[in-house]
Amino acid sequence: MEGKVLNTTKTDSVVPDHMLIVSSSPHLRSNESVKKIMLDVVIALIPAIIGAVYFFGLNALKLILISVASAIFFEAAIQKLLKKEVSISDYSAVITGILLAFNLPANAPWWIPVFGSGFAIIIVKQLFGGLGSNFMNPALAARAVLLASWPNIMSNYVLPGADAVTGATPLAIMKFGGADAGASATVAQAGAELPALMDMFIGNIGGAIGETSAALLLIGAVYLMIRKVINWKTPVFYVATTAIMLLVLGVEADQLMYHILGGGLILGAFFMATDYASAPVTSLGQIIFGLGAGALTALIRVKGGFPEGVSYSILLMNVASPLIEKFTSPKIFGRAK
Amino acid sequence: MILGLNYLRTINKILIERWKGMKLENLTFKGGVHVPHNKEMTEKKALEYAKEPSIVYIPLHQHTGAPCEPLVKVGDNVKVGQKIGESQAFVSAPIHSSVSGTVKNITTITTPTGINAKCVVIESDGANQMDEGIQPKGSLDNLSSKEIIQIIKESGITGMGGAGFPTHVKLSPPPDKKIDTVIINGAECEPFLTSDHRIMLEMPEKVVFGLKAIMKALNVERGFIGIENNKMDAVDALKAVIKDEDNINIVTLKTKYPQGDEKRLINAVTGRMVPSGGLPMDVSCVVNNVSTAKAIAEAILEGKPVYERVVTVTGNGVNEPKNLIVKIGTPFQEVIDQAGGFNGAPGKVIMGGPMMGLSQFTTDVPVIKGSGGILVLTEEEALAEKVSPCIKCGKCLEACPVFLQPLYISAYALKSNLQGAERYGALDCVECGSCSFVCPAKRPLVESIRFAKREILAKRKKS
């Protein structure tokens, strides 16, 4: 051994017997992976996908598939173009595709999800640095752009059933009354009435294809919480604040459940507001995010011009997230502050 | 004078009452991670003596503090337990020979902790002749606090959990720091390692004796032994030894990494929080490892200095994992050979556990006082996983026992933005590695934070 002992006075004598791998500790890693997390989210969305197809027919399936396929295509294309490593196998583009499709009315034309996916993936996600660096939720940002560009298409909701009759969402009925439901008044289904609460819970109502079934979305959300992919803080504070603020703003108590189950609140609170990259990482920050998004949602729904406010609330809170994070750093162990 | 004594006794009684009412089971801390134990490979294997090494390589710098200067020359005859290195500095610990034989060389080597140190190379004569100075030091009742600390110092005892801080320094707090609690760290939260577990199981009376000696040295009336609840047999063994002791309690801790970090241990056992940048003595505590307590017991009962220690040789990379009593200075390769040798081509050879252990460039390094384990990972286990971008999942925040935001400190560190890293608390990091362990993107979190810490401290030193 004497000859082989590392002799620092002569660097050329450093000759190990076999090449051992040397690195800084830890030498043990959990079997968590980004891909597993993303796959869990996809799995959590499957009940709602099945529900969407059940309630809105094959058109919903077509939109979801087009949206997912184009999201994957755009991700691969832009990464090739920017000479980055193609990372479509991490399933994150799949999630964006599904979430975007969930925000569309069932009778939207095929190019709507194509344009939306392109905007979400290229502009919002990849041009800002790709996975983990997007400052907004890509699917929601795309929905906002689609809604601003083609308001007629985007608010022309279909009622469940194979015959694809257009009709008002419960929120629109509450906001504008049955007679001239729909923000753009293209849908005029005289005498529309609020559906039964049970229909709202299981999703047998008008609305975007993936947001109507609270029950199926919650099954997925519970799965994500059990798998520790998301935590309860943001969604619970979000939904609770929305409810309280709606009451404060004068919404009657018997309409409250329609507000909670009717629009995109459940989808937004559990699947969009919990997006890692565009929400705070700090525990207190996540609570504040939920409070803020809840207050904004109620405010837009009651005082704003739109019947629905979930997407804009989350997008606004996305933009505020870096600031929230900055002021909610956890107190370091053993520091007096 | 008498009044003062009475006063102290009253306080003591109150304290005793208070901690008797304290919860002693299933204590824990906030944060941390559940790591796979992998202890089943060696936890049932009794301690056994390793084969006598024919040549030992004893570094003169195995501790935190000043290196020792050799007390022997090439050609000298030495005996087991003979002091062969010493320093005049207070923060240092003397070095003793682990064999009897002849000094062949005094050279420089790189120790397993990465320090370049002088090293005494001794060829054993196989006779194991003991040094005449190795005599029992008497009972605790006849020893004063000062004498106990002197014995500990002369025996070269350092923190044997791996930190290597000289124990006599720990036991000599400045007069303004009043110590009221001694905790023996039997958490052994590092996966794979079982050396402390076996010591608690096979020599519980030595562990308790060591604790009593530390309590006497510090004039403290309250002692705890903290053990993770995956070692209940050790808990039972120690409970049997302390059943008549009023001042000593066994505390069971939830099995969670890094429970053995001394600040986490103090927090779990006493509820106290060591201030940022502070030491256990700032909250009136002293923490010592199980192996250290055992070494103290042997120093007093047998007069034996630290020239051997228990090493867990384990991992999928060795054929027969074992708990061996190994002489300081034995090359790693010899120890590995006694555990059945490598199982296939080795990937990593680590001194210590997988979470905080040091991976070695070669197996031609000697066992030192801080070598609680030699862990061999297979090539497959050791290969680095692909790093992907941070997705901001926040798992590192949940895992950090110091409540840092590892993702941001790491991001600053990787951009060499030291101010940013420091602002986010880089220097409070205890380098436990929980963040890197949980990271789904396999990012080098603690690795980069460690780099930032070193750079920040180096800059401070310069200015």
Domains of chain A: 34-327 (1.10.3430)
A325-to-A211, A295, B389, B405 alpha-carbon distances in Å: 29, 19, 19, 11
Question: Percent of chain A at pLDDT above 70?
Answer: 88
CB-based contact B391 A18, cutoff 8 Å: no
What is the third-level CATH fold of B306-382? Ubiquitin-like (UB roll) (3.10.20)
Residue A171: what pLDDT? 80
- The pLDDT value given to residue B121: 97
Q: Which of residues 123-162 of A touch B (CB under 8 A)?
A: 129-133
Domain locations along chain B: 2-30+136-301, 306-382, 395-462
Specify the DSSP element, H or E, that contains B49. Answer: strand B48-49
Tens digits of residue pLDDT in A293-332: 999 999 999 998 777 889 999 999 999 999 999 999 999 9
Look at residue A177 in the predicted model and tell me its pLDDT. Answer: 64
Query: Distance from first CA to last CA of chain A, Å, rounded?
Result: 54
- CA dist A288 and A336 (Å) reads 23
CB contact under 8 A, B383 and A21: yes
Give B327-378 as a DSSP string.
Answer: ETT-BHHHHHHHTT-BSSSEEEEEES-TTT-EE-S-S-SB--TT--EEEEEE
Contact between chains at A27 and B263 (C-beta distance less than 8 A)? no
Reported as a pLDDT band with limits 50, 70 and 90, residue B463 is: confident
Q: Give pLDDT tens digits for B51-60.
A: 999 999 999 9
Residue B448 tokens, joined: 């980069």
**Phi–psi pair at A239, nearest 5 degrees:** -65, -45
User: Model pTM greater than 0.80?
Assistant: yes
Report in angstroms the alpha-carbon separations of B167 from A336, B160, B296, B352, B356: 29, 9, 9, 19, 21
Least confident of A91-100, A193-202, B420-429: A193-202
Interface test with A, best of B190, B336, B362, B367 (most A CBs within 10 A): B362
The span from the CA of B124 to the CA of B329, in Å, is 11
Going by pLDDT thresholds of 50, 70 and 90, the confidence category of residue A199 is: confident
Of B333, B389, B403, the CB nearest to A333: B403
Who among B119, B440, B442 is closest to A37 (CB)?
Answer: B440
In chain B, which residues have their Cβ closer than 8 Å to the Cβ of A36? 440
- What residues of chain A lie within 8 A of the CB of B273, using their CB? 333-334
The structure tokens listed for A81 are 């173009």
Q: Cβ contacts of residue A60 below 8 Å, gap of 6+?
A: A52, A53, A101, A106, A209
Same fold, B2-30+136-301 and B306-382: no
Name the minimum distance, in Å, from the CA of B363 to any CA of chain A: 8
Cβ of A281 and B407 within 8 Å?
yes
Peptide bond preceding A26: is omega within 30 degrees of 0, i.e. cis? yes
Out of A44-48, A196-200, A239-243, B64-68, least confident range = A196-200
| Of the candidates A301, A196, A165, A36, the residue with the CA atom closest to the CA atom of residue B441 | A36
Interface predicted TM-score of the whole assembly (ipTM), two decimals: 0.87
Name the 3-class secondary structure at B426.
helix
H or E segment to which residue B108 belongs? strand B101-110
Asked whether residue B2 carries a pLDDT value surpassing 60, the answer given is: no
Strand order in the sheet with B181-186: B248-253, B223-228, B181-186, B285-289
Q: What is the pLDDT of residue A185?
A: 39
Q: What part of A 241-270 touches B (C-beta under 8 Å)? A: none
Q: Name the amino acid, one letter, at B91.
A: V
Tell me, rounded to whole angstroms, the distance of Cα B299 from its chain centroid: 17
* pLDDT tens, position by position, B305-352: 999 999 999 999 999 999 999 999 999 999 999 999 999 999 999 999
Are B36 and A29 an interchain contact pair (Cβ–Cβ within 8 Å)? Answer: no
Query: If we measure between CA atoms, which residue out of A165, A51, A152, A136 comes closest to residue A101?
Result: A51
Backbone angles phi, psi at B109, to 5 degrees: -130, 170
Say which range, A2-11, A256-265, B170-179, B272-281, has the weakest mean pLDDT: A2-11
**For range A238-256, the mean pLDDT:** 93
Q: How confident is the model at residue A162 (pLDDT cuts 50, 70, 90)?
A: low
pLDDT, tens only, B11-26 = 665 565 555 556 888 8
| Mean pLDDT value of segment B97-101 | 96
Q: What percent of chain A has pLDDT over 90?
A: 67
Rounded to an integer, the average pLDDT of B259-271 is 95
Give a three-class secondary structure readout of chain A: CCCCCCCCCCHHHCCCCCCCCCCCCCCCCCCCCHHHHHHHHHHHHHHHHHHHHHHHCHHHHHHHHHHHHHHHHHHHHHHHHCCCCCCHHHCHHHHHHHHHHHCCCCCCCCHHHHHHHHHHHHHHHHHHCCCCCCCCCHHHHHHHHHHHHCHHHHCCCECCCCCCCECCCHHHHHHHCCCCCCCCCCCCCCCCCCCCHHHHHHCCCCCCCCCCCHHHHHHHHHHHHHCCCCCCHHHHHHHHHHHHHHHHCCCCHHHHHHHHHHCCHHHHHHHHCCCCCCCCCCHHHHHHHHHHHHHHHHHHHHHCCCCCCHHHHHHHHHHHHHHHHHHCCCCCCCCCC
B109/A336 CB distance under 8 A = no
Contact flag A25-B390 (C-beta cutoff 8 Å) = no
What is the third-level CATH fold of B2-30+136-301? Rossmann fold (3.40.50)
Best of A4, A5, A337 to mutate (most B CBs within 10 Å, chain B): A5
Closest CB to B391: pick one of A8, A276, A331. Answer: A276
A28 interaction partners in chain B (CB closer than 8 Å): 35-36, 191, 354-355, 437
Q: What is the DSSP letter of B120?
A: E
Residue A322 CB neighbours (<10 A): 12
CA distances B376 to B319, B341, B367, B372, Å, are 10, 10, 15, 13
E strand spans, B174-307: 181-186, 223-228, 248-253, 285-289
Three-state SS across B197-223?
HHHHHHCHHHHHHHHHHHHHHHCCCCE
Cβ contact, residue pair A22, B360, below 8 Å? yes
At CA A161, angle to CA A302 and CA A211, rounded to 5?
40
Chain A positions in Cβ-Cβ contact with residue B347 (cut-off 8 Å): 20-21
Question: Is A19 in CB contact (< 8 Å) with chain B?
Answer: no
In chain B, which residues have their Cβ closer than 8 Å to the Cβ of A27?
348, 350, 354-355, 357, 359, 375, 377, 382
Q: Is B129 helix (H, G, I), strand (E, B) or coil?
A: coil
Whole-number pLDDT of residue A255? 86
Which of the residues B108, B364, B365, B449 would you substitute to probe the A interface, choosing the one with the greatest number of A C-beta atoms within 10 Å? Answer: B364
Select from B393, B396, B435, B453 the residue whose CB has the most chain A CBs within 10 Å, as the one to mutate to test that interface: B393
The pLDDT value recorded for residue B4 is 63
Angstroms from B458 CA to nearest CA on chain A: 19
Q: Are A21 and B347 within 8 A, CB to CB?
A: yes
pLDDT at B79: 96
Q: A153 to chain B, minimum CA–CA distance in Å?
A: 33
Report pLDDT for B238.
96
Taking CA–CA distances from B433, the nearest residue in chain A reads A26
CA distance B94 to B109: 18
- Which residue among B57, B404, B437 sits closest to A1, beta carbon to beta carbon? B57
Contact in structure between B217 and B148 (CB atoms under 8 Å): yes
Which chain B positions have a beta carbon within 8 Å of A130's beta carbon?
389
Interface touch A332/B433, C-beta < 8 Å:
no
Under DSSP, the state recorded for B117 is E
How close A131 comes to chain B (CA, Å)?
Answer: 6
Q: Which residues of A touch B191 (CB under 8 A)?
A: 28
Give Dmax (Cα) for chain A: 96
Residues in chain A within 8 Å Cβ distance of B341: none
